[in-house]
Amino acid sequence: MQTVVCSKPGSARKLELRIRLFCRNVLLDHWTHRSDSAFWLTCILKPWPMVNQARLLYIIFGPISPQDGQVVWQKMIEGPTDESCLKGLAEAIKLLYDTGTKEWTADDVISLVDELSVVPREWLLENNARLLILSGNNICFTFMASKAVNGRTIELAKLIVFLALVSEKELYCMDWAVKMMQKVCKVFSTPVERNNFLQSVADAFACAIMEMLQLVMSGDGDDDDRSFMNLFHLVQAQASFHKEVLYLTMNVLPS
């Protein structure tokens, strides 16, 4: 296991696959009670530093190739992915968060999620947002509140934009994203900080749209089609998001 944990991701693909299959088939997947799975997952992860825990989590639960079953390391970096690629990781994160064992504090799990989002390099924000949504409200809020407490306002604002984008693409209720922003906003201790955060969200929407527009204008072929659809969804997401903000502000229930 030390070989795959300490070497370059993908440099020992067959060994990665063997570790994944052993951990899933022998140690983790066959238990009736989630607490048993959590125990064994803890045994697998805890001997290692956080950065290695994140890599192991990706090896065991991350996306795999349908052709040979090997771990696909570039999946979260190359483009937006879907629920099937992230569901295993989200379930593992929920398992650690929900078991309430002394080995895993909320801060531990949030740090693990943060570390996971740069394995093997920084993920696309859309994929990060999708993972948080799949991980559930508590983990999503705690992750975002941590950024607020640590003054990472710009990152947080960008994440709000991509939570809205994923909600639009997957036809989730947009009021969820707005209420999540409202809840996170309360974490900031002063009106000035809250106002700066809300301004950052507005700016993040504008920047994301401009970046996608530039991508559409410079692209060609299939990539151009995907970029255009992403831009379309983002504009729709912004409209839906701000509509829900207006409902909330005016205290009007949508019909």
Residue matched to tokens 């970096």: 77
**Which residue's entry shows tokens 């740069």?**
118
- At 173-183, the pLDDT tens digits run 999 999 999 99
- Res 108: pLDDT: 95
Give the position of tokens 């929900």.
98
Query: What's the pLDDT tens digit per position in 216-253?
Result: 888 755 566 888 899 999 999 999 999 999 998 887 66
- What does the alpha-carbon distance between residue 226 and residue 214 come to, in Å, rounded to a whole number? 13
Query: Is the pLDDT score of 23 beyond 80?
Result: yes
pLDDT of residue 139: 97
- Contact (Cβ atoms closer than 8 angstroms) between residue 205 and residue 165: no
Query: Whole-prediction pTM value?
Result: 0.93
**What does the DSSP 8-state code read for residue 80?**
-
75-126: per-residue pLDDT in tens? 999 989 999 999 999 999 999 998 777 789 999 999 999 999 999 999 999 9
What is the structure's pLDDT at 146?
96
Alpha carbon distance, N-terminus to C-terminus of the chain: 56
- Which residues have a Cβ under 8 Å from the Cβ of 226 and sit 6 or more positions away? 79
Assess contact for 93 and 139: CB atoms under 8 A.
Answer: yes
Q: pLDDT band at residue 59, thresholds of 50, 70 and 90?
A: very high
Q: Is the pLDDT of residue 255 over 60?
A: no
What's the distance, CA 13 to chain centroid?
24
Q: Give ∠ CA 45-46-52 in degrees, rounded to 5.
A: 55
The residues spanned by each domain of the chain are 1-135, 152-255
pLDDT at 93: 97
